[in-house]
Amino acid sequence: MKHLALFGATGTIGDNTLDIVRTYPQYYRIAIMTAHQNSKKLIALALEFMPDHVVIANDHHYQEVRDALPATINVSAGENALVDAASLPYDMMISAIVGFSALRPTMEAIRHGRTIALANKECLVAAGSLFMDACATYGATLLPIDSEHNAVFQLWHGVHNRPPHSVTLTASGGPFRTWSLEALYDATPQQAVAHPNWVMGAKISVDSATLMNKGLELIEARYMFNLEPSQLHVLVHPQSIVHCFIHYADGSHLAHMSTPDMRIPLAYAMHYPERLRLDLPPLDLVARGALTFEAPDHTRFPALGLAFAAMEAPSSAPIMLNAANEIAVEAFLGGAIGFMDIPAMIARILEKNAQHSVSSLDEVYEIDHSIRIATKRLISQAS
């Protein structure tokens, strides 16, 4: 029996994790369950799975959650409570909190030498080598959940345990893949979150629409797999069947293929190194038809180029990129800025702030905080 700490239980990754737990209750038990502010869903899930500990990050919902759950479940609230929960006993953390706020609890799990199934990409984007160095120092095990990184992990470590010459991550292209540049200026939040292949939350759906999601994944892959920026590439693959390619110096190319279902990489990470049987339709390539690939368009989707540049810049640049993106996406979803303003705001932040090497987590938090303030100010001035 594997005891899981599910950080981000009410999101899409949480939904898929709990589907697997329902299917295989003999293998998994939810020991810890957290949510940001979706108190009603958290209560319903806690009553179903009866974890030992429940955390609601938004402390305004504490009393509601506490009153709804039996006394046998410990309930706490606030950002610090997330960190405290990460230090409790469990076998595996599912790190599925959206955004930079996942960094503190995930780092706490690392300091306790835990196994971490990582769905959150912002931890590695912002903390980079500091994050990976901590994993090595404390003996923590990191297993990727993102479909592309999970695919790289399976091919590299599970099939052919040799460093590749280079790696290509695929991107669906999002809902605006065929839109003209002019049309993108009028794209709405409702259109941006309507992903053609994946069911995801609003923030990551917008990131997919701008291609920033793929940019963040490139930075994540750089640190997770200790690759140079020149070894990482992107192809747009609208069908989302091939999740990555690994290229070797002898001209061999390995590809990982599966239907676009997050339960596949999740189950692999949760049950590693064994594989679970999932009741999914078989991958029928004949019925699927042609699999196509194309180069990303950096003119229509400049966010990807910003991420490439940040990956090659000093280590403060990805922190700035991520912080500015989170604030800009939030503003877009709230109707304060347009779709193409997202990469424009990020570019201005990167231009106005000198980049430098970061040597501590305190610096990471300070840069993130200051860039969020600067981005909000920039958006306010533009409104």
- For residues 102 and 191, state if they share a domain: no
- For residues 160 and 172, state if they share a domain: yes
| Boundaries of domain holding 191 | 146-260+281-303
- Of 191, 188, 290, give the one whose Cα is nearest residue 238: 290
- For residues 6 and 95, state if they share a domain: yes
Instruction: Specify the CATH number for the domain of residue 8.
Output: 3.40.50.720
The CA radius of gyration of the chain, in Å to the nearest whole number, is: 20
Distance CA 246, CA 47 (A): 43
Residue 267 lies in a domain: no
In the 3-class helix/strand/coil scheme, how is the chain assigned residue by residue?
Answer: CEEEEEECCCCHHHHHHHHHHHHCCCCEEEEEEEECCCHHHHHHHHHHHCCCEEEECCHHHHHHHHHHCCCCCEEEECHHHHHHHHCCCCCEEEECCCCHHHHHHHHHHHHCCCEEEECCCHHHHHHHHHHHHHHHHHCCEEEECCHHHHHHHHHHHHHCCCCCCEEEEEECCCCCCCCCHHHHCCCCHHHHCCCCCCCCCHHHHHHHHHCHHHHHHHHHHHHHCCCCHHHEEEEECCCCCEEEEEECCCCCEEEEECCCCCHHHHHHHHHCCCCCCCCCCCCCHHHHCCCCCECCCCCCCHHHHHHHHHHHCCCHHHHHHHHHHHHHHHHHHCCCCCCCHHHHHHHHHHHHCCCCCCCCHHHHHHHHHHHHHHHHHHHHHHC
Cα–Cα distance list, 235 to 44, 153, 244 (Å): 40, 18, 9
Q: Are strands 242-247 and 166-171 parallel, antiparallel or unpaired?
A: antiparallel
Residue 266 lies in a domain: no
- For residues 153 and 299, state if they share a domain: yes
- For residues 164 and 128, state if they share a domain: no
Residue 23 lies in a domain: yes
Distance CA 290, CA 294 (A): 13
Q: Are 192 and 339 in contact (CB under 8 A)?
A: yes
173 φψ region: left (φ > 0), alpha (ψ -120 to 50), beta (else): left
- For residues 133 and 150, state if they share a domain: no
Global pTM reads 0.94
Distance CA 106, CA 310 (A): 23
- For residues 371 and 286, state if they share a domain: no
Residue 221 lies in a domain: yes
Structure tokens, 151: 């695919």
249-288 burial code (b ≥16 CB/10 A, e <16):
eeeeebebebbbbbbbbbbbbbbbeeebeeeeeeeeeeee
Residue 276 lies in a domain: no
Boundary of a domain, candidates 122, 144, 166: 144
Residue 275 lies in a domain: no
Per-residue pLDDT of the chain in tens (383 residues, 90 and over written 9): 999 999 999 999 999 999 999 999 999 999 999 999 999 999 999 999 999 999 999 999 999 999 999 999 999 999 999 999 999 999 999 999 999 999 999 999 999 999 999 999 999 999 999 999 999 999 999 999 999 999 999 998 866 677 889 999 999 999 999 999 999 999 999 999 988 777 788 999 999 999 999 999 999 999 999 999 999 999 999 999 999 999 999 999 999 999 999 999 999 999 999 999 999 999 999 999 999 999 999 999 999 999 999 999 999 999 999 999 999 999 999 999 999 999 999 999 999 999 999 999 999 999 999 999 999 999 999 87
- For residues 200 and 348, state if they share a domain: no
pLDDT tens digits, 36-89: 999 999 999 999 999 999 999 999 999 999 999 999 999 999 999 999 999 999
- For residues 24 and 85, state if they share a domain: yes
- For residues 38 and 139, state if they share a domain: yes
- For residues 227 and 154, state if they share a domain: yes
Residue 308 lies in a domain: no
Structure tokens, 51: 């974890």
- For residues 35 and 135, state if they share a domain: yes
Residue 28 lies in a domain: yes
Instruction: Specify the CATH number for the domain of residue 327.
Output: 1.10.1740.10
Boundary of a domain, candidates 127, 144, 161: 144
Q: What is the pLDDT of residue 78?
A: 97
Boundary of a domain, candidates 97, 117, 144: 144
Domain tally, the chain = 3
